[in-house]
Amino acid sequence: MRKDTFNQKSVYIHMDNVINNVVTSGITFCDFMQGVTLPPENILLIKHHIKDSSYNTHTAFDFLEASDLQQLKTHPGLQLGEFCWIDFEDIDLVNQLSPQEVAEMLYLAHTGRHLRSPFYYKLQNNFVYLTKKDGRYNKTYYRNMNHFYAVLGFVVAKKTAAILNEKTFLSLNKRKYVKSPSMDLLKRFSAYFKEGACIAFAAAEKTRTQIRIPVGVQLDDDIIELEHTGEEIAYSKIIAHLVYDLKKNEWTCLEK
């Protein structure tokens, strides 16, 4: 692992509600851990480059416990690279996995596709997290999609705060807080997320009273392109703006 600055501004989302997975770009593991309402207690590492981890002899997988995850969570600039994991409740449950289930997990990490349900009864997992380049192109399975909207709300607030607190010649040192938009507001875009959408922080407009962030659709390229390049993907149509009122500290949506 190496420490580096992840500076991609915009967030790209492609959602599949049938199998509850979301492909994103612009959301890192640290964002996930800080935003999710039910953080994983332990994670089984299917592919990774983390040195300080424990080893499970039954599956030949490494794993991280709650204290390890807390340390990763507090290093937002850490680049994890290839990072694939499944959460679990107790190591005794991991020791009950069959060879077939272990093989399915290896296939899942290798191809990014599931053979059967990625939610294992023995593990009681809520998530499957798959990436070759963390933050650039992530595919995450959510047992409950509300967890995704919680993560997205955290990221929207974080990136908006970064715009609000950009240093200028006359700026003060006091950083301003931005609250997260509600799940209900974000869910209004669910139909667009299914087709692929961009929350375009790179094109956000800031005035004295508000910040307006375009939501674009009809992306010119597939999101996977962001795994290989840091350039923003263009979109052909703006369908709405997320608007943060600086005086009222409230989010609204202006649809076109």
How does pLDDT run across 22-43, given as a tens digit for each residue?
Answer: 999 999 999 999 999 999 999 9
Domain end, chosen from 122, 146, 170, is at: 146
Task: Give the structural domain span for 132.
Answer: 2-146
- pTM to 2 decimals? 0.92
- Give the per-residue pLDDT at 13: 97
Compute the average pLDDT of residues 123-131.
96
Report pLDDT digits (tens) over 70-122.
887 776 566 777 899 999 999 999 999 999 999 999 999 999 999 999 999 99
Q: What is the domain count for the chain?
A: 2
- Inside any domain, residue 153: no
Residue that finishes a domain, picked among 91, 118, 146: 146
SS (H, E, C) 193-218: HHHCEEECHHHCEECCCEEEEEEEEE
Q: What is the average pLDDT across 136-150? A: 96
The answer to whether 157 and 179 have CB atoms below 8 angstroms apart is: yes
Quick check: is 98 in a domain?
yes
Does 27 share its domain with 141?
Answer: yes
- The answer as to whether 156 is a domain residue is no
- Same domain as 196, residue 142: no
pLDDT in the model for residue 174: 72
Q: How confident is the model at residue 6 (pLDDT cuts 50, 70, 90)?
A: low
Q: How far apart, in whole angstroms, are the C-alpha atoms of residue 193 and residue 206?
A: 25
Range 41-67 average pLDDT:
93
pLDDT higher than threshold 90 for residue 172: no
The per-residue b/e assignment along 208-232, b for 16 or more CB within 10 angstroms, e otherwise, is eebbebbbbbebeeebebbeeeeeb
- For residues 140 and 165, membership in a common domain is answered with no
- Is residue 92 located within the same domain as residue 208? no
- 198 belongs to a structural domain: yes
DSSP 50-78: -SS-EEETTTTEEEE-HHHHHHHHT-TTE
